[in-house]
Structures are given as structure tokens and as C-alpha cells.
Amino acid sequence: MRYIVVGGGPAGCAAAYTLQKQGHEVDLFEADDALGGRTRQIKIGDFSVGVGALFLMGGIYPRTTAILKEIGRHDDLVPWGGASELMDSDDSRYPVSFVDLLSYLKVPRLTLGDRINIAWMGIKLFLSSGAKNPFDGEDLARYDHGDNLEGFARKEMGDRGYEYIIRPLFDFLYAVPPSWLSTPFPIAIIQQAFKMKLSVPPEGPVQVSEWMIEASRNVEVNLSTPVTRISRQDDSYVVEAAGQRYRADGLVVATEAFTAAGLMRDFISTDSHDKLENAPYTDYAHVQIGYKKNPWPDYPADIVLPVGYGEGPRPVGALVLQSRRQVSAVPPGGELVGVYFTTPPLEHMSDEDIKREALDTVHRAFGEPSEKPEFVELFHYDKGLNIAKPGAYGTLDAMRRELPPGIVLAGDYFAQAGIEAAVFSGERAANQLMGAGGSG
């Protein structure tokens, strides 16, 4: 069988890896000049700057972990403690561990009553049922009862629990107000928090995609080759790319949802097309600021999360000292600060506003450096991260099942954005295509 995979992010690479494992030949088409999609690294002078993803999350990334073990790469991952601090609106700092939810109970702004409430909620959630894989949209849909995360958290944890635990975590991870997010993912994360450990491949998360392809035989990778059209002919598909036409017995489309909608427009129902086209994504930006000489080598935290009780939307969700996360991101003695924005304020900011706000927040968090940065690089996406609104998992999962035979979709948008969501969906798409995965 001849299979084609469109898109070389983690979803497409996981699909290609899974197909070739069963002896199939695969052609992978990637629009960009490198694999990895939103996990790519780019060179700026001696710095290696991530366009998106920062870390893997250990036991709550089961399929990514399993594949990395299978290809002998799991031991290459570099653990990262993710030492963090909350930065309050009066500039007070509260040290926490990003992955240890219990550490947030020590935040001095929480009262004894808050702590008891939150601990009780944790126990109740731990004992209740929830999605087994927090990045499987089908599993998440079963627990999506239309609630939103802000409503849930305020009710179960109180207002301070919401402001000092849920909001900082989700401002960083998903960059939208928790009122826009459905609850099954955060509940599954809280239930499985004990499995969470951060790690990073030595050259950045892009290596997850690169390693899967390096471990593959019979996968022909075509970089800088955007697919411009897909059409259906009898039982097979024709893919057009770089002026050529390629026939495939089966196809995995592993681009972002809105791109998949355009490519498949000719042979899917209007309803399926519209569900893909309208899959919710957020405008997203981060700024990477490079310093040749590290101005803050002894700063006590790697991540700073701005917080503030009862405040409206704030522009910056997190600051990350990248040399702590990925040593290879910076030249010796240098530092790279990632400033990650949140959506509603972003909508009203020009690119210059975003860069200025990034620098101001860095100075507020770490102190003004004596030397100017080497560069201030803005990464601004019209549609950067998919948003799992209440109802979104079920809508997309139902649409996935309505497609004609021989073509399947993969991408992180079926669940909560994340490398595990992409890898899980890519593996599932390949298995569905080969008939091994039942309904996928």
C-alpha cells in the first residue's frame, strides 16, 4: 500500500512512523523546510530558539513516552525541575513547583479554609472517574458536560484557589481565560498530577518528530513541499504538491484543522468542512529575548507566573529562563528569556506593543540588565493554539468519523493542544487507516 502523510509536525511524524512499522511505504509532505511544526527550533545567531513547544510532561504523555522508549530515545530526555514562582501584583513572590500541585497550597495568600477546600477537592477528584489519557479527545468528550474551568474552579477551590493556582497554570499552558476552556482536561491532569514530570530533548522538543522519522524505514520526507490540493479518484486519492500529482491508497492529513478544511473541501460534506474550518484557535504570541551574557545567572526560579487577585486579563502568562530548560538554546554564558502572552489583551496590541510589554515584564520580574539584549524576536500567530471549549471534543470527534474511507485526520486539535495530543492522534489515524484501530 502507498500512503501519504500531509504535515510533518509531531502528529504527521507519529502517523508516518506507525504506518512504516507495519511495512508500508510512506511519502510525507511538509510545507516548511524542516520537520516539527510548532515544535521547531530556529537559529538566531548562536541561539537556538523554539517557535513553540517547551517541554514534555512525563507520565501524562503515555503514547509519546511509549514511542520514545520503543525507538531507544527515552533515556536521552533531560529532566527539568521547572522551579517556578508566582509574581503578585504588588511584586511579592511565592515559590512553587510548576508540576507539584501540592506546592501551591503553601502560597501565603491562601487561607487555611482555602487550603482545606482545595485539598478536599483534590481528594474528591482523585477518587472520581475521568479521562484516562488527558490528550485523547474521544475519551475527554465522554466527561464534557458543558462546564467551563473558571466556573468549576471558583466553585470547588474558591476565588483565591482559582486566582493563585488554576489561572497561572492555564494562562501559561493555554493562554486563554479559563472560562473559555472545558473541564475534562484539567480534571484529568489533577487526577494524574502525580505522574507529571517535565523533560526536554537535548536539542528541543522538535527532536520528538525528528527521532520518529530517523527511526523509520521507507518514509520519504519531502520538505518545502506544501500540498495544494487533494482530490478523490475512485478508491484512491490524488495529492498535488510542487506542481506534481501523487496517487495514494490512503492519506493522513496532519495539518492544522483550518488547513485540512481547505485541502479536503472538494470531497467532504459542508458540515464536516465547517467544523474543521471553525475549530476554535487563539491568536497567540511569544517573545524571545536573547542576552549574550546572562544578566541573572543566580535567579532562584526558572519560570515566573504573573498573578493578581481579582484582576482582569493580564497580557503576560509566563516568563521562562530558557537556559535552565534547554542548555543548548543559548551560547555558553548566555540567556534567552521566553515571554508567553495571553489572548484577550493580545488582540488589542500591535507587534511593537507586544515587544515593549515583554521587555517591561522581564525587567519587572528579574531586574533591569546592565547590557542590552542581542535580539528581541516576536513570534505572532493568527491561530496559534487550539482551544478546547465546552463541546469542542465531541464535535470534532464526531466529524472525524464522517470522513470518506481512506482518508483520516490527525492533529492536536482533537484534544487539548500538546505534543501528546498530536502523537496520540497521529498513531490513531495510522491505525485507523490500516484497519487495525477499529473506529480509531
Ligand X SMILES: Cc1cc2nc3c(=O)[nH]c(=O)nc-3n(C[C@H](O)[C@H](O)[C@H](O)COP(=O)(O)OP(=O)(O)OC[C@H]3O[C@@H](n4cnc5c(N)ncnc54)[C@H](O)[C@@H]3O)c2cc1C
Query: What are the residues binding ligand X (CB under 6 A)?
Result: 6-12, 29-32, 37-39, 52-55, 226-227, 254-256, 259, 284, 286, 384-385, 411-412, 417-419, 421-422
Whole-number minimum distance, CB 6 to ligand X, in Å?
5
Whole-number minimum distance, CB 68 to ligand X, in Å?
13
Helices (H) and strands (E) counted in the chain, each on its own, are: 15, 19
The answer to whether the beta carbons of residues 285 and 384 sit under 8 Å apart is yes
Whole-number minimum distance, CB 256 to ligand X, in Å?
5
If the CB atoms of residues 61 and 105 are measured against ligand X, the closer one turns out to be 61
If the CB atoms of residues 107 and 263 are measured against ligand X, the closer one turns out to be 263
Whole-number minimum distance, CB 281 to ligand X, in Å?
10
Whole-number minimum distance, CB 122 to ligand X, in Å?
24
Using the structure block, give the residue that is written with the C-alpha cell 466529524: 399
Whole-number minimum distance, CB 307 to ligand X, in Å?
20
In whole angstroms, give the CA distance from residue 413 to residue 389.
Answer: 11
If the CB atoms of residues 55 and 107 are measured against ligand X, the closer one turns out to be 55
Beta bridge mates, 29: 6, 222
The closest alpha carbon to 359, from 316, 326, 311, 324, belongs to 316
Whole-number minimum distance, CB 364 to ligand X, in Å?
21
SS3 86: strand
The closest alpha carbon to 425, from 9, 5, 15, belongs to 15
Whole-number minimum distance, CB 278 to ligand X, in Å?
17
Whole-number minimum distance, CB 438 to ligand X, in Å?
22
If the CB atoms of residues 1 and 223 are measured against ligand X, the closer one turns out to be 223
DSSP state of 59: G
Q: Which stretches does DSSP call E strand in 37-170?
A: 41-44, 47-50, 78-80, 83-87, 93-97
Q: Give the largest CA-CA distance in the chain.
A: 67
Q: In what order do the strands lie in the sheet with 227-233?
A: 227-233, 236-241, 244-248
In whole angstroms, what separates CA 401 from the centre of its chain? 24
Dig out the grid coordinates for 262 from the structure: 481547505
**Residue 391 exposure: Cα atoms within 13 Å on the Cβ side:** 5
If the CB atoms of residues 107 and 354 are measured against ligand X, the closer one turns out to be 354
In whole angstroms, give the CA distance from residue 11 to residue 57.
Answer: 17
Whole-number minimum distance, CB 384 to ligand X, in Å?
5
DSSP state of 164: I
If the CB atoms of residues 57 and 118 are measured against ligand X, the closer one turns out to be 57
The answer to whether the beta carbons of residues 299 and 85 sit under 8 Å apart is no
If the CB atoms of residues 60 and 141 are measured against ligand X, the closer one turns out to be 60
DSSP codes of every residue in 153-219: HHHHHHHHHIIIIIHHHHHHHH-S-GGGSBSHHHHHHHHTGGG--EEE-TT-THHHHHHHHHT-SSE
The closest alpha carbon to 198, from 72, 320, 365, 329, belongs to 320
Strand 335-341, strand 316-321: pairing = antiparallel
If the CB atoms of residues 188 and 385 are measured against ligand X, the closer one turns out to be 385
If the CB atoms of residues 144 and 412 are measured against ligand X, the closer one turns out to be 412
Whole-number minimum distance, CB 418 to ligand X, in Å?
4
If the CB atoms of residues 119 and 327 are measured against ligand X, the closer one turns out to be 327
If the CB atoms of residues 52 and 122 are measured against ligand X, the closer one turns out to be 52
Beta bridge mates, 87: 93, 306
Neighbours of 75 (CB within 10 A): 7
Whole-number minimum distance, CB 128 to ligand X, in Å?
25
If the CB atoms of residues 121 and 252 are measured against ligand X, the closer one turns out to be 252
The answer to whether the beta carbons of residues 221 and 32 sit under 8 Å apart is no
